[in-house]
Amino acid sequence: MSEKNLIRKQVKETLSTLSRPLYEHYSFKIASTLYTDVDWEKAKTIGIYVSRQPEVDTYQIIRKAWEQGKQVVIPKCSPKDKGLAFRTLTDFSQLESIYYGLLEPIETLTTEINAEEIDLIIVPGLAYTRTGYRLGFGGGFYDRFLSEYPGKTLSLAFNQQIIPNFPIEDHDIPVSKIITNEEVILTKC
């Protein structure tokens, strides 16, 4: 097993020990901190993934964005070219599960948005370094997208997902900020 896959396995095991009440409490703390973040406040269009455990709950964040009049766009994976496109989401009924069990936008009910129109992207991951590098779930979709994305990035993570280091490759793109249930980490990127 590669070092990255071993880290993925260890972090998933650690997160699986989080009780439902703690998961909910930590997700709420992270979301509350996000809502006061300057990048969130300034953003008119927010790119965000639809979470599934053990990821920080993003359903409440998506609802808050709608409540604040922000445009929400979510990723649609293209397995053939490992590409990523963001499409509008105005209602959870516009979601379907196609690829890896992830909830994605139904193309006939949503509109694709250009990367330049997205002010802030909340990037998913499984583990993070304090310098903003993230270990994703292994597909490389976000790194490809972020290599051309001009806007702001941040990630949401439970404190248990912050680890000292892991192998970083040339194509890995760090996020500029990580919000955890205990702190906001401003990275060097």
171: which residues sit within 8 A by CB, 6+ positions away? 140, 143, 144, 147
pLDDT confidence of residue 189: 54
The amino acid at residue 124 is P
Beta bridge partners of 112: 87
Reduce the DSSP state of residue 56 to 3 states and report it: coil
Structural domain boundaries enclosing 124 = 3-186
Among residues 110, 6, 131, which one has the least CA distance to residue 50?
110
pLDDT of residue 27: 97
pLDDT at 79: 74
What's the domain count of the chain? 1
What pTM value is reported for the model?
0.93
Sequence-distant (6+) residues with CB within 8 A of 8 are 126, 127, 135, 137, 138
Predicted local distance difference test score (pLDDT) of residue 137: 75
Q: What is the pLDDT of residue 136?
A: 83
Q: Looking at this protein, which amino acid is placed at residue 88?
A: T
Supply the pLDDT for residue 167.
Answer: 83
What pLDDT score was predicted for residue 107?
A: 93
CATH number of the domain where residue 22 is located: 3.40.50.10420
pLDDT for 80: 81
- Residue 1's pLDDT is 61
pLDDT means over runs of 10, the chain (189 residues)? 83 91 96 97 97 91 98 90 91 88 90 96 94 84 88 96 88 92 87
